Amino acid sequence: MTAMKKDTLKGKTALVTGGTRGIGRAISEKLAEAGAGLILHARLISDSVQQFAHKLGEENGIAVDCVAADFINPTNIDRMFDQISAAGLDIDILINNAGFETTFAAEDMPLADWQAVLQVNLNAPFRCSQEAARRMKKKGEGGVIINISSIHDTVPRKGLAHYCAAKAGLRMLGHCTALEWAEYGVRVVNVSPGAIETDMNREAIENFGRDKFESWIPARRLGNTSDIASMVCFLCSNEASYLTGTDIYIDGAYMRNLVRYDDRPGRSST
């Protein structure tokens, strides 16, 4: 995918939840390069978060604000939007990216873990979408909501019943809100990454075996955060103005290759 022009999103403001690490960080960088102002959400506003925000603003000539909220507590989401309103900030684009997971066999999973994972991965995107859509409708210029889901919104995985259930719910939430908000010019798209390498999981990938992933994924490589960020930036632009209510899987065909067969017909030897 070609790089977006510098001013493609000029005049727009994007709220990116979990926007300072991993996939969210790459999305924030791409949106900034396309000229969008940013509201960066993080669980805590650390020195490194502030430095990242300052760097994006300086390098791209945009306004960058930071908001803190631990989505485990629903009331923190309300406080975050109160802060956004008090600062007089618009929201033209919402990227529902914040999420987390734990791993438990279903029969051993503590209720607290089930509730926490559903709260952050499903309930929080619902509340953020509600608040963003209200502002977009009031402004009257439409808007874009991108839900960062996972191939596990469709593909089950052992130990992740809560995460898979949350992402499946997020997928349907995207469909329903796209249907309801299309008449207001608010587009909703689900982006579902496969195995994506980030600074946070690189060591775990190496310990598990990079070669295993590369043999399982038909594209023969792990994804990178730029693969996701470039698509998200495109979806936020007018070039994607007729795209809503759909799911985009970015996984190198990983989810199409979960059943193992022999190599037939195989490669030609010529």
Positions annotated as catalytic residues are 163
Work out the number of other CB atoms within 10 angstroms of the CB of residue 241. Answer: 11
Distances (CA, A) of 45 to 60, 136, 148: 21, 26, 22
Query: What is the rounded CA–CA span in Å between residue 270 and residue 268?
Result: 5
Q: Quick check: helix, strand or coil at residue 223?
A: strand
Q: Which helix (H) or strand (E) holds 14?
A: strand 13-16
Residue 20 φ then ψ, to 5°: -120, 0
What crossing angle do the helices spanning 225-236 and 22-33 adopt, rounded to 10°? 50
